[in-house]
Amino acid sequence: MTGPKVVIIGAGVVGAALADELTGRGWDDVTVVDQGDLPAPGGSTSHAPGLVFQASSSKTLTDLARYTVEKFCSLEAEAGPCFLQVGGLEVATTPERVVELHRRHGWLTAWGVESRLLDAAETAAMYPLLDPEVVLAGLHTPTDGLAKAVNAVDAQTRRAASRGARLLPRHEVLDVTVEDGTVTGVITDQGEIPADIVVCCAGIWGPVIAAKVGLQLPLTPLAHQLAWTSPVPALAGAAKEATLPILRHQDQDLYYRERFDTLGIGYYGHRPMPIRAEDIARLDDSAVMPSVLEFTEGDFEQAWKQTQMLLPSTRDATVEEGINGLFSFTTDNMPLIGESPDVSGFWVAEAVWVTHSAGVGRAVAELLVDGYCSSFDLHECDLNRFEEHQISPEYVLTRDCQNFVEVYDILHPLQPTGAPRPIRTSPFYERQRALGGEFLEASGWERPQWYAANAGLVDGRDIPAPNDWAARYWSPIVAAEAQATRESVAMYDMTALKRLEVTGPGAARFLNGLVTANVDKSVGSVTYCLLLDVDGGIRSDITVARLAVDRFQIGANGNADLDWLTRHLPDDGSAQVRDITSGTCCIGLWGPRARDLIQPLTDTDFSHEALKYFRATPAFVGTVPVTAMRLSYVGELGWELYTTADHGQRLWDLLWEAGQQYGIIAAGRGAFSSLRLEKGYRSYGADMTAEHDPYEAGLGFAVKLDKGDFVGRDALLARKDEVTRRLTCLTLPDPGSVVLGKEPVYAGDSCVGYVTSAAYGYTIGRGIAYAWLPSELTEVGTEVEIGYFDERVRAVVTAEPLFDPAMSRLRS
């Protein structure tokens, strides 16, 4: 046998895909266990309606779906094909949905999937069952279609078995054995199976399996209604299972698929119907299968009414049968992929719908075999991305139910989560509320986007008003706060930034083996650097401040960074890492008058000579002990001032009172984002991900190849001279033009890239967009266009940074 002993728990479409992908890479000691029969073991796969729409605001989800489509099209099971590529059609019956279809068309184009916008007549012609008087527009994606999920399970498990995999249906998993923090096997009702690696692909039962190794999986099974009609007259005589495109009517939370002369109707408009994974019926106790609950006809009444309005031919049919089928939901609508933080060798591939299943199978196989994923960026799917409160049962249930309600809603990219809020508040929260803070949410923290108290600053300023979509979660106060920061001084609440502490005699050596720059420098040094994966892709960008010989403070991007550092800790205990975010807070004090404000409050010398750019020092501001780091992500003189939470409000009050004579303001995230882009500062997760290397992202300055070995260095040596694309600064010449991010970029009629971050630059008086473009289109002065809803917005490649390229304001 080749490779480690792998046991996959769950033989649904994800487990089948993983078995196929692993054996295809030469690992043949693979066992797939399931409590049910193959190829329809009784989970979500077995009743899934199979509609595959590739459109998503997440590039990762579209990439996973595209691979799934391509793979399923290549598979054939004994019972027939695994994919019916009939295309997908999304329809709009309201003006708001028409606008949304333009946005979705932009996503598909940006991510490389062909689609076309249709007018009302074209839409009705493509799907003759539609009432042409109801439909306003459509979006057609020709490569969408119907996945035959059970056939896909059969084809993939049979192929895996032909390569040596062992399939064990009717094996109920009773436990997962662990010794010294490492998985050793799986106990079933028919005996124990030794394992070096266990992968939980149990779908709606995932929380039950994960709990056997002490892992709390933030997943909720929710029932979703699927009904089948009696024969529909307009489909009479249909010889094929499906010829019309799969159809979505998102204005009413509905979707449709053919089954010869009948229609399947899926509905998300009913009340959320969650069930605990522990309460799902046992296989032999369920009437149909464990994932199928009794159809509640009353919940479907509105769906049938709206169906008859949209598809008049259904008025001569009836609802013949239906189910309430269980599917997995998560708090951010993304899959759960990764290894347990506590039990080595226990992996999960959970909350994966048929749409993304083969892609996830490939991704997990690459992680296991190669140690990294080269095909997809998985940072949005990382199992260990969650803050602690985000895995609490109350939070998981509340958010998962709300996500069910919103599954087809038109959501703005800045739209904050609903209940439960507020969850985390900084020590400045009451002061911010008193100033009329307009709060959005970041990692559970209430974070002001702007302050109503600054409304007076708008008077007399020429502030261009953005269009309807860009104007949501925006105020002209954002512009005034940005301009006031450039002119005087402002306080920014930076508490939501993840803060980690690395300590121990081996801390410097440990960090230097992970980051791209040298952090083994003098006490007080602050270093901007990157965390890379083995292939040189960017996992995160961080700042590392050396506060003592054996103590470092890291400004990180999230909990996945903590997990990455923890996994790489030395076995000898010479370094430790802990999250200090909750017990600390931070104010960014920035602007040309920042030094005038702070110097009288402290005995520490805050002059440029004493505390240079990218240096840190302990100090007292009044009675408040702080760590002052001379950093600025807004491009102005100033410091990040860190203190413990108990001193936070006092720090705010001292700075606020002392700043009155300089016209101090509190400024929000809206202004911060604009100022950040004027300086060209990157944002991980938006501007660059694991798909990109430092040289492409314009971060080569943060890589010191001569400092010694670090994770990803060998890959960078091969990649640094092969840059074929670049993260590029674009400005929008037309006054008032602004885009949001994730739009396609065109050269002529061809899509050549996509926008990452965007904002209006109030200092430079132009819209700003950063975009990934082919290297040959990144010369300064090159003109391109950005597809913004139904418009083409002119954009010009511009040298960066746009503001203060000499860095004189930061270094004053």
Which amino acid, 51? Answer: L
- Give the angle subtended at the CA of 361 by the CAs of 356 and 364, to the nearest 5°: 120
CA distances from 269 to 52, 306, 802 (A): 19, 11, 47
Q: Does 541 participate in catalysis according to the annotation?
A: yes
| Cα–Cα dist 219/206, whole Å | 8
Q: Strand order of the sheet with strand 638-644?
A: 616-621, 624-629, 638-644, 584-590, 490-493, 665-667
CA distances from 481 to 5, 94, 259, 635, 710 (A): 58, 36, 57, 14, 41
| Cα–Cα dist 125/118, whole Å | 10
- Per DSSP bridges, beta strands 490-493 and 665-667 are parallel
Find where tokens 């662990």 sit.
Answer: 178
Q: Are 807 and 793 spatial neighbours (Cβ–Cβ below 8 Å)? A: no
Helix, strand, coil share of the chain (percent; to 5)? 30, 30, 40
Task: Give φ, ψ of 398 to 5 degrees.
Answer: -65, -50
Hey, what are 204's tokens? 């709606």
Q: Does 255 participate in catalysis according to the annotation?
A: yes
Hey, what are 416's tokens? 């904050």
| Cα–Cα dist 776/792, whole Å | 21
| Cα–Cα dist 94/333, whole Å | 25
| Cα–Cα dist 151/80, whole Å | 7
Q: Are 94 and 410 spatial neighbours (Cβ–Cβ below 8 Å)? A: no
| Cα–Cα dist 330/459, whole Å | 44
Q: Are 725 and 773 spatial neighbours (Cβ–Cβ below 8 Å)? A: yes
Buried/exposed code over 244-264 (b: 16+ C-beta within 10 A; e: otherwise) = bbbbbbbbbbbbbbbebbbbb
| Cα–Cα dist 660/801, whole Å | 31
Which one from 20, 154, 332, 541 is the annotated catalytic residue? Answer: 541
Count of residues for the chain? 812
Helix or strand holding residue 386 (H, E): none
Phi-psi region of 429 (alpha: psi -120 to 50; beta: other; left: phi over 0): alpha
DSSP 42: S
| Cα–Cα dist 251/449, whole Å | 30
Which one from 127, 255, 492, 788 is the annotated catalytic residue? Answer: 255
| Cα–Cα dist 111/107, whole Å | 6
88 alpha-carbon distance from chain centroid:
24
Task: Give φ, ψ of 409 to 5 degrees.
Answer: -75, 160
Burial of residue 660, with CB atoms counted within 10 A of its CB: 0-12 exposed, 13-18 middle, 19 or more buried: exposed
Q: Which of 145, 144, 121, 147 is nearest to 134 (CA)?
A: 121
CA atoms within 13 A on the CB side of 447: 24
Q: Which of 672, 664, 594 is nearest to 634 (CA)?
A: 672
| Cα–Cα dist 319/728, whole Å | 54
Q: How many CB atoms lie within 10 A of CB 776?
A: 12
Q: Does 412 participate in catalysis according to the annotation?
A: no
Phi-psi region of 705 (alpha: psi -120 to 50; beta: other; left: phi over 0): alpha
| Cα–Cα dist 225/307, whole Å | 14
Which one from 224, 270, 647, 692 is the annotated catalytic residue? Answer: 224
Hey, what are 612's tokens? 């240079």
Hey, what are 680's tokens? 């060209």
| Cα–Cα dist 235/228, whole Å | 14
Hey, what are 16's tokens? 């089948």
Catalytic residues: 224, 255, 541
